[in-house]
């Protein structure tokens, strides 16, 4: 028996095969896109802390990953027997096949998305939340773009699997590539030649879309970009123009800019912060120092609502921001007045810039989300702030193209874009090389000289004593001293003296 090459080659121009190929492309693309969308919703639900969300999601993923696709296809195809109203849709085998494929693939793609979501550092969500983005904004603007880039290779591989799985829809009489081949070889018995043509059609579809998806993956992978756009001369003009005030003005009423009362926090029944009271006056610079594990970072994260209070209350400009609500025997819950979140800017020790955005877009993301001003005004403000921190020439670079000190300066500018009343710094130099520390400290010192209200957690003792109006010394979750720098330097507290004994204060 000889292989009929002429017949096989003639099948490559067969109209029925090309129509069937178009059906496979439509079916696989629709299934892939719908499953990506539904799978992401399912992945979010599975990660939710609410049993009403994560329990159904877990059951769905377990069930449809356990069911063979062939069984699911036959079940959906025969569903009108039990539910006659479904016949209007399921009488068309294309929609039957699509529904069955989406039901199955959503379960698999949900797990791919979950892997992508788990790969996004929690600092990304915290940075977005500190900028006042709500849950939907955080997901859409920060998490989804990064998670999709991480998951794209697996999603591309899953698309190829869908193309091959589409051959199973022939059991419900949908005319796709395999069914056309079966019809032909049942007539002429040239099985090898016909199936070789079927294989070529599948290989062609997979090859074309694999190439396109690889191009998409390469385009979205900003970590591979090395050359930034040249600085636009117009930006230099905008940076030179008068910029809006860096911070918002306080209300005319007298009182502290920030007031914290009886703050308490414990992890696994281990107290890390106990009964801390704090008042920061408008324009005051307060540094928080102390040994590692003394509760400094916990304190500053509580002030911004990034950690949940176990007890206490926080007020901004005399207005409630965070407080604990207790009703009867119900579990206490934190009440947040979210409108005050924009009054607090936060700079993290690990920068937490959004890696999928340029420097300029890092600054513009939150103000655009909150509609703080027109696009041109925001761009002007961003240019002025980048100029202030010495980063204007890097406006079109991505975070991975910057040094640690440069990233932290951009993070400061990003926080200032919201024109906060109060700036919080959580050990802003701890992740930097010694030679990069000064460039960040100089920016903070400049801001201090402009009268911006600041709370700074730091291990840079000379800097703290130089710029601060008050210094708070903490140990074991308690405030040990809260005094002016000179009073603390010349004080008689033995614990503070022991802490500073190896520090040469200028």
Q: What is the pTM of this model?
A: 0.87
Question: What are 89-146's pLDDT values in tens digits?
Answer: 888 999 999 999 999 999 999 999 999 999 999 999 999 999 999 999 999 999 999 9
Q: What is the DSSP string of 418-478?
A: T--SEEEEESTTTTS-HHHHHHHHHHHHHHHHTT-EEEEE-S-HHHHHHH-SEEEEEETTE
Pairing of strands 258-267, 422-426: unpaired
Average pLDDT of the segment spanning 50-73 = 95
More confident residue, 231 or 363: 363
Distance CA 146, CA 382 (A): 23
Find the mean pLDDT for residues 154-162.
95
Residue 339, pLDDT score: 85
Q: Does 238 have pLDDT greater than 70? A: no
The tens digit of pLDDT for each residue in 259-299 reads 999 999 998 888 899 889 999 999 999 999 999 889 999 99
Is the pLDDT at 472 greater than 80, yes or no? yes
Closest by alpha carbon to 500, among 461, 457, 458, 455? 461
Q: Which has the higher per-residue pLDDT, 353 or 87? A: 353
pLDDT in tens, 328-345: 677 778 888 888 889 999
Q: What is the mean pLDDT of residues 474-503?
A: 85
Phi, psi of 314 (to 5 degrees): -125, 130
Question: What's the pLDDT at 361?
Answer: 96
Question: 414: closest CA among 341, 451, 361?
Answer: 361
* Cα angle value 353/356/361 (rounded, 5°): 70
pLDDT tens string 171-223: 998 999 999 999 999 888 899 999 999 999 999 999 999 999 999 888 888 87
Residue 479, beta-bridge partner list: 474
Query: How far are the Cα atoms of 3, 55, 386, 410 from residue 240, in angstroms, in the given order?
Result: 77, 56, 11, 18
pLDDT at 105: 97
Instruction: State the pLDDT at residue 233.
Output: 62
- Give the pLDDT band of residue 49 (cuts 50, 70, 90): confident
User: At residue 239, does pLDDT exceed 70?
Assistant: no
Residue with tokens 């040249």: 230
Q: Of 417, 344, 424, nearest to 384 (Cα)?
A: 417
Span 399-456, pLDDT tens digits: 999 999 999 999 999 999 999 999 999 999 988 888 788 889 999 999 988 889 999 9
Residues 26 and 169: beta-carbon distance below 8 Å: no
What tens digit of pLDDT does each residue of 343-389 get?
999 999 999 999 999 999 999 999 999 999 999 999 999 999 999 99
**More confident: 46 or 499:** 46
- pLDDT score at 226: 66
Q: Which domains does the chain have, with CATH numbers?
A: 5-220 (1.10.3720.10), 280-309+338-500 (3.40.50.300)
Are β-strands 258-267 and 311-316 bridged in parallel, bridged antiparallel, or unpaired? Answer: antiparallel
Q: What is the DSSP string of 40-61?
A: HHHHHHHH-S-HHHHHHHHHHH
pLDDT of residue 230: 57
Looking from the CA of 236 toward its CB, the CA atoms found within 13 Å total: 5
| Chain segment 457-468, per-residue pLDDT in tens | 998 898 999 999
| pLDDT at residue 231 in the model | 62
């Amino acid at each position: 028996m000889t292989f009929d090459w002429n017949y096989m080659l003639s099948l490559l121009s067969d109209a029925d095969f090309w129509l069937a190929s178009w059906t496979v492309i439509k079916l696989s693309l629709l299934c892939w896109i719908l499953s990506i969308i539904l799978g992401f919703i399912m992945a979010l639900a599975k990660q939710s802390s609410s049993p009403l969300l994560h329990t159904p999601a877990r059951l769905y993923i377990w069930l449809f990953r356990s069911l063979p696709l062939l069984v699911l296809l036959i079940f959906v195809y025969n569903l009108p027997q039990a539910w006659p109203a479904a016949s209007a849709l399921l009488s068309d085998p294309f929609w039957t096949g699509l529904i069955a494929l989406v039901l199955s693939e959503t379960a698999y793609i949900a797990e791919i998305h979950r892997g992508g979501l788990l790969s996004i550092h929690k600092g990304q969500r915290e940075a977005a939340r500190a900028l006042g983005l709500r849950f939907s904004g955080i997901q859409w603007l920060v998490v989804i773009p990064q998670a999709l880039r991480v998951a794209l290779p697996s999603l591309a591989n899953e698309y190829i699997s869908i193309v091959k799985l589409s051959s199973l829809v022939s059991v419900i009489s949908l005319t796709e590539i395999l069914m056309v081949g079966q019809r032909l070889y049942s007539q002429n018995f040239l099985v090898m030649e016909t199936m070789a043509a079927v294989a070529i059609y599948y290989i062609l579809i997979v090859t074309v879309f694999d190439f396109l998806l690889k191009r998409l993956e390469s385009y979205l992978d900003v970590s591979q970009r090395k050359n930034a756009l040249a600085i636009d001369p117009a930006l230099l003009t905008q940076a030179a123009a008068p910029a809006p005030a860096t911070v918002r003005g306080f209300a005319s009423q007298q009182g502290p800019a920030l007031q914290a009362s009886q703050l308490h926090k414990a992890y696994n029944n281990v107290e890390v912060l106990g009964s801390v009271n704090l008042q920061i006056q408008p324009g005051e610079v307060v540094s928080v120092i102390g040994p590692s594990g003394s509760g400094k970072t916990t304190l500053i994260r509580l002030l911004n609502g990034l950690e949940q209070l176990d007890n206490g209350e926080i007020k901004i400009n005399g207005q409630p921001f965070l407080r604990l609500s207790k009703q009867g025997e119900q579990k206490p819950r934190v009440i947040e007045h979210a409108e005050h979140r924009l009054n607090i800017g936060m700079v993290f020790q690990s920068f937490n810039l959004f890696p999928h955005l340029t420097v300029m877009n890092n600054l513009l993301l939150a103000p655009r989300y909150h509609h703080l001003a027109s696009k041109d005004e925001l761009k002007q403000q961003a240019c002025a702030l980048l100029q202030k921190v010495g980063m204007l020439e890097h406006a079109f670079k991505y975070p991975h193209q910057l040094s640690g000190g440069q990233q932290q300066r951009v993070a400061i500018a990003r926080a200032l874009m919201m024109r906060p009343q109060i700036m919080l710094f959580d050990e802003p130099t701890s992740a930097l090389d010694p030679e990069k520390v000064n460039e960040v400290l100089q920016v903070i010192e400049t801001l201090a000289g402009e009268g911006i209200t600041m709370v700074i957690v730091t291990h840079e003792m000379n800097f703290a004593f130089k710029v601060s109006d008050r210094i708070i010394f903490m140990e074991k979750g308690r405030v040990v001293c809260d005094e002016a720098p000179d009073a603390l330097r010349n004080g008689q507290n033995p614990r503070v003296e022991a802490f500073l004994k190896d520090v040469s204060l200028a």
